[in-house]
């Protein structure tokens, strides 16, 4: 699939992926919830997805229920993605003990391209995966690359962060910590 076809397929608005790749990425601001498009997912149950981690094992959102999840959709040809992913990895390391899982799913056409980028670091704390079915982009329809989704313990999407600029990682981490501190299951009421 070509980058232009990917842009149409994923419904990316405001930044054609082919142009973004040639120009070094989108200069868009992340950190604020989108109000249209992917932002309409806020408050809804996250669609399940199954991807294949870089060791070949399947990983699904359903298997992460009960944890706060940051789902990040990225691609090796996306310049902002290349800047964001190492920052998300540091976040994954810091927040894992608090019950946060960072799942970074590559929508690259070829798994080898994602693997080549990931090999630049000897170890990743986040879970890196690839979507061999090409269904993640169709289902989630990110408007910009990268796009991350903060998902609470019950599987509800609470924030959508479209695009990335340095500094956005502090907003994303704050959103995740907010989800960690929330009591998503209300305490049982006692009868009088």
Question: What would the pLDDT profile of 83-140 be if each residue is shown by its tens digit?
Answer: 999 999 999 999 999 999 999 999 999 999 999 999 989 999 999 999 989 899 888 9
What's the mean pLDDT in 54-80? 95
For 190, counting Cβ atoms within 10 Å of its Cβ (0-12 exposed, 13-18 middle, 19+ buried), the class is exposed
Determine which helix (DSSP H) or strand (DSSP E) holds 93, and give its type and residue range: helix 79-95
Confidence of residue 28 (pLDDT cuts 50, 70, 90): very low
102-139 as b/e: b if 16+ CB within 10 A: bbbbbbbbebeebeebbeeeeebebbbbbbeeeebbee
Residue carrying structure tokens 């501190």: 181
Between 10 and 99, the more confident residue is 99
Confidence of residue 144 (pLDDT cuts 50, 70, 90): very high
What is the structure's pLDDT at 191?
A: 41
19-28 as b/e: b if 16+ CB within 10 A: ebbeeebbeb
Tell me the domain boundaries of the chain: 3-181
Please state, for a pLDDT cut of 70, what percent of the chain lies above it. Answer: 74
Q: What is the mean pLDDT of the chain?
A: 80
Q: What is the pLDDT of residues 43-60, one digit of tens each?
A: 999 999 999 999 999 999
What is the structure's pLDDT at 12?
A: 39
Residue 159 has pLDDT above 50, yes or no: yes
Assigned CATH class of 3-181: alpha beta
What is the structure's pLDDT at 82?
A: 95
């Amino acid at each position: 699939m070509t980058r232009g076809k990917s842009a149409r397929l994923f419904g990316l608005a405001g930044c054609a992926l082919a142009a973004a790749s040639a120009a070094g990425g989108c200069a868009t601001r992340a950190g604020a919830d989108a109000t249209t498009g992917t932002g309409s997912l806020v408050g809804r149950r996250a669609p399940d997805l199954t991807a294949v981690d870089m060791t070949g094992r399947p990983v699904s959102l359903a298997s992460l229920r009960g944890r706060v999840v940051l789902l990040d959709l990225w691609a090796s040809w996306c310049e902002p993605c290349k800047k964001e992913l190492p920052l998300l990895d540091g976040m994954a390391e810091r927040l894992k003990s608090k019950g946060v899982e960072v799942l970074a799913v590559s929508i690259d056409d070829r798994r080898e391209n994602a693997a080549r980028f990931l090999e630049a670091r000897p170890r990743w704390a986040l879970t890196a995966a690839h979507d061999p079915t090409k269904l993640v982009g169709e289902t989630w329809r990110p408007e910009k690359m990268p796009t991350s989704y903060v998902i609470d313990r019950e599987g509800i999407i609470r924030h959508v962060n479209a695009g990335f600029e340095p500094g956005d990682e502090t907003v994303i981490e704050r959103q995740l910590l907010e989800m960690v501190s929330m009591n998503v299951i209300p305490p049982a009421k006692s009868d009088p």
